[in-house]
Structure 1
Amino acid sequence: MREQLIASFQHALAQTHPARLTEQHLPEEAPALMVAVGKAALSMLEAARQRFPQVPFIAVPKAEAGRVWPHFPKGRILPASHPVPDERSVEAGQAILQAISKLQPDDLLLLLVSGGGSALMCAPWGVDLATKQALTQALLRSGADIQEMNAVRKHVSALKGGRLAAATPARILALYLSDVPGDDLSVVASGPTVPDDSTFAEALGVLDKYGLEFPQVRAHLSQGVQGALAESPKPGDPLFARVENRLIGSNQGLLEAAQNYWQAQGYQAVILSDRFQGEARELARFHANLVQSIRAHQEPFRPPVVLISGGEASVTVRGSGKGGRNQEFLAWLGFYLGREGVWALAADSDGIDGNTPAAGAIWQPDTWQRAREQGLDLKTFLEQNHSHGFFAAMNDLLITGETAHNLNDFRVLVVA
């Protein structure tokens, strides 16, 4: 079963590979410029370059220590930092702004966007980089969801929230891979070519909600609230008449590929939802309750059944350990189920879960007992937000390396 869990994840990644999805949506017309940004930037660009080998491009992938990036006569690869922007992110943002501003109204800009673009492509507005870095870190640790984070980031950026579209006169075809629940394109990489419904006032409200001070940020947002700064482009703005935003891949597609895998193995496989959000521990409690109901009452599904779910959990960090939302989910799932146990895998489709080198982890029916035999107290690890340490000690981490993918969380539970 362990091998099948891993195989289902690998099958889902292969069936929804960004290059495969991008190839199906490329235009007939050769663009004047191609820009790819996000964790899947290079795999999306791979398909575009095969179709348009002579077109100049800028690609902004996540930087990888020790990786040697190729050189192209007509292209630039500008690796940058994620999840917190750095100087390279600002350089990439400025390079993109300069390049797109030189395009003409008859030109076509092909924009390839995947999650992670909010940090990788950075153009601070009204705040300095150090403040934006600290703000990003604080938001990540606060428990704020992606919509709340982006409401703030869109209003301290010259690129996000439709501002990239406003910065060029060219026609734009933007192909988006969604890594957010509900596939709201205004949230993916903070929607650089998408109308923005959020406001300066909402961004200020997020800071209030989570008790984040940041005087420089508040001063900037307050100027916007007072009307001294231009709002982000809203729905109905004429500039979007020359923009086509197209969703080409999503978490639902990833989950459906996994469902097809399990059904081919002869299992009943059910997709619970691609839109789960909230604290990882609460999502784990829901899944644990569902497992117990299936076993006790054969409701709402008769066992054996494979439960598949996605979305994007969050973690309010209180401890000093290492982990990620998928490892945290799995550890809490095991805690709630106790000796009952279950076969389960939880992973981030990009191959990197939180601040760890693991994609996620695997829980086995005997994990609880094995931990007790080794003298490991799961609750202590959870209190320290150190799920990674627990799974490392149990030899149950899922290590894939970066997948050049980014379609959000992936969870599979096999309930016998």
Structure 2
Amino acid sequence: MKREKDKFEQLLMESFYAAIDAADPHKVVAPHIPTTFAGDVIVVGAGKAAASMAAAVEEAWPEKELSGVVITRHGHSEKTKKITVLEASHPIPDQSNLDATKRMMDQLDRLKEGSMLLALLSGGGSSLLSLPVEGVTIEDIRKVTEDLLKSGTSIDHINAVRKHVSQVKGGQLALAARAKGAEVLSLIISDTVGDNPSDIASGPCAEDFSTYADALWYLSQAKVEAPESILKHLRNGARGAIPETPKIGDVRMRGVKNKIIANSFKGLQAAAAFFKEKGMRPVIVGDGISGEAKKVAQQVSRKIRLELSKPRRKPVVLLSGGECTVTLTGRRIGKGGPCSEFLLALALELEGNPIYAIAADTDGVDGNGEAAGAILRPDTMEKAKELGLDPQKYLEEHNAQEFFEKLGDLFDTGPTRTNINDYRVVLIP
């Protein structure tokens, strides 16, 4: 079903691209490239923005002898001339991830004293970088990742587990480079709340704040039965039989720099400036509004009701970012993700109120669906009833993308080749 987009819907969609533009690797990478560095440079990286970041490095350093390997999600690649781009599976890793990560790590063999490892990291890198410790298979990693994602466990808890069964994450990429005497510069496009380098792509070049014991605890809290190989490794680590990941103050991490070059807040600021130019009053609610999608919808709805109760001389726009999660329950699991589920829950919370809204994942893919997210209109629930759609049933079946697809209100961007977390806007005319 196709529907005409009115002026407010057009503004919502245009604002998304304003936020994305603030995190475009071709604009944000160049100012941070150490173009005066005289030694050899090996480029590695992983994430949904890794390919475009690599292309941006080549643009900024046209005369530099460059080589390396970066890994991105299938379909998120970009043409490069010097740096090899490999595609792998996301969010559940498979053999392609293992093969790609091995090829990337092979690049470190060419590092030496006086050279530099330039790491290009962005959201999605945690799944893409899959090189498990000895005794753990990629199938084991695949299973525990899938089970943790289904459980609705927060991403930092998932990453704590992944870091402690990896040869790359939790600062171990940087340690491998430092062991060769190389400097390490990590340029990061953040998709996490708080912008901590340890959280983004599971922190391959950053000190780790979690422990083996934490990883075991998070698995038990999520009620996930991990493969015995993983449990054995974590238990050995917890009792001190295996060295921990590097922590704050670890002398081995000297010579490592991590720089956040784009994040959710900068994207929200760009979108707010866009709305202000259009004569509206933008309000940035926050870039760290996270949690179960349905509960976040309840939280945001209270703020909306407050604004609806106030007199307005101009349209008000509430902008927020963060990272919602979805705990999969019920017999039937449909199509969608945290953004579309948030929007459907918001529609039920605010039925009858004259609002517009958009919720979309800035990488262009929301959960297991094909679209970035969806758009909510004042007549969404009315149209749903006309089509015989039961919004509550679609919500219970985690099938929000199909709900909005039937209404003609999906927001499909294709891969954006960047990633600064969820983007949510509510427009009150």
TM-score of the aligned structures, taking structure 2 as reference length: 0.93
Give the alignment partner of residue 116 of structure 2, picking from 108, 114, 120. 108
* CA contact 1:19–1:45 (8 Å) conserved in 2: no
Q: Report which stretch shifted further, 52-61 or 131-140.
A: 52-61
* CA contact 1:324–1:354 (8 Å) conserved in 2: yes
Deviation string, structure 1 residues 161-193 (Cα, Å, up to 9, x no partner): 000011122111110110001111101000000
Matching residue of 1:47: 56
Matching residue of 1:58: 69
**Separation (CA, whole Å) in 2 of partners of 1:282 and 1:303:** 29
Give the alignment partner of residue 10 of structure 1, picking from 12, 17, 38. 17
**Separation (CA, whole Å) in 1 of partners of 2:45 and 2:296:** 33
Partner secondary structure for residue 353 of structure 1: coil
Give the alignment partner of residue 380 of structure 2, picking from 367, 373, 376. 367
One-letter code of the match for 1:165? A
Deviation string, structure 1 residues 24-65 (Cα, Å, up to 9, x no partner): 111021552111321001111111111334311212111129
* CA contact 1:294–1:302 (8 Å) conserved in 2: no
Residue 342, structure 1, aligned to residue 342, structure 2:
no
Residue 130, structure 1, aligned to residue 142, structure 2:
no
Partner secondary structure for residue 130 of structure 1: helix
Partner secondary structure for residue 113 of structure 2: coil
* CA contact 1:352–1:360 (8 Å) conserved in 2: yes
Matching residue of 1:222: 235
Matching residue of 2:256: 243
Q: Report which stretch shifted further, 128-137 or 9-18.
A: 9-18
Partner secondary structure for residue 401 of structure 1: coil
Matching residue of 2:168: 159
Deviation string, structure 1 residues 72-121 (Cα, Å, up to 9, x no partner): 4x432221111111111111211222211331021011111111111112
* CA contact 2:46–2:120 (8 Å) conserved in 1: yes
Matching residue of 2:98: 90
Partner secondary structure for residue 34 of structure 1: strand
Which runs of no fewer than 5 residues in structure 2 stay unpaired? 1-7
* Alpha-carbon offset, residue 71 of structure 1: 7.5
Matching residue of 1:196: 208
* Alpha-carbon offset, residue 15 of structure 1: 3.0
Q: Report which stretch shifted further, 119-128 or 129-138.
A: 119-128
Partner secondary structure for residue 110 of structure 1: strand
Matching residue of 1:310: 321
* CA contact 1:37–1:114 (8 Å) conserved in 2: yes
* Alpha-carbon offset, residue 304 of structure 1: 3.1
* CA contact 1:327–1:347 (8 Å) conserved in 2: yes
Matching residue of 1:20: 27
Partner secondary structure for residue 5 of structure 1: helix
Partner secondary structure for residue 369 of structure 1: helix
* CA contact 2:136–2:165 (8 Å) conserved in 1: yes
Matching residue of 2:267: 254
Deviation string, structure 1 residues 307-342 (Cα, Å, up to 9, x no partner): 000000001011411111000000000000112241
One-letter code of the match for 1:212? V
Give the alignment partner of residue 222 of structure 2, picking from 195, 210, 219. 210
**Separation (CA, whole Å) in 1 of partners of 2:159 and 2:206:** 13
Equivalent residues in 2 for 1:72-87, closer than 5 Å: 72=81, 74-87=82-95
**Separation (CA, whole Å) in 2 of partners of 1:204 and 1:303:** 52
One-letter code of the match for 1:82? H
**Separation (CA, whole Å) in 1 of partners of 2:80 and 2:160:** 36
Residue 32, structure 1, aligned to residue 56, structure 2:
no
Deviation string, structure 1 residues 223-270 (Cα, Å, up to 9, x no partner): 101111111011111122111111111000111110000001111101
* Alpha-carbon offset, residue 16 of structure 1: 2.4
Deviation string, structure 1 residues 145-167 (Cα, Å, up to 9, x no partner): 11101110000100000000111
**Separation (CA, whole Å) in 1 of partners of 2:130 and 2:33:** 26
Residues 390 and 35 of structure 1, relative CA distance in 2, 3 Å threshold = same
**Separation (CA, whole Å) in 1 of partners of 2:423 and 2:80:** 34
Partner secondary structure for residue 83 of structure 1: coil
**Separation (CA, whole Å) in 2 of partners of 1:302 and 1:136:** 49
**Separation (CA, whole Å) in 2 of partners of 1:315 and 1:153:** 19
**Separation (CA, whole Å) in 2 of partners of 1:246 and 1:101:** 24
Runs of 4+ in 1 over 4 A off after TM superposition: 69-72
**Separation (CA, whole Å) in 2 of partners of 1:399 and 1:151:** 32
Partner secondary structure for residue 340 of structure 1: coil
Partner secondary structure for residue 112 of structure 1: strand
Q: Report which stretch shifted further, 91-100 or 402-411.
A: 91-100
Matching residue of 1:181: 193
Matching residue of 1:121: 129
**Separation (CA, whole Å) in 2 of partners of 1:295 and 1:71:** 49
* CA contact 2:23–2:189 (8 Å) conserved in 1: no
TM-score of the aligned structures, taking structure 1 as reference length: 0.95
Aligned length: 411
* CA contact 1:34–1:56 (8 Å) conserved in 2: yes
**Separation (CA, whole Å) in 2 of partners of 1:377 and 1:143:** 24
Which runs of no fewer than 5 residues in structure 1 stay unpaired? none
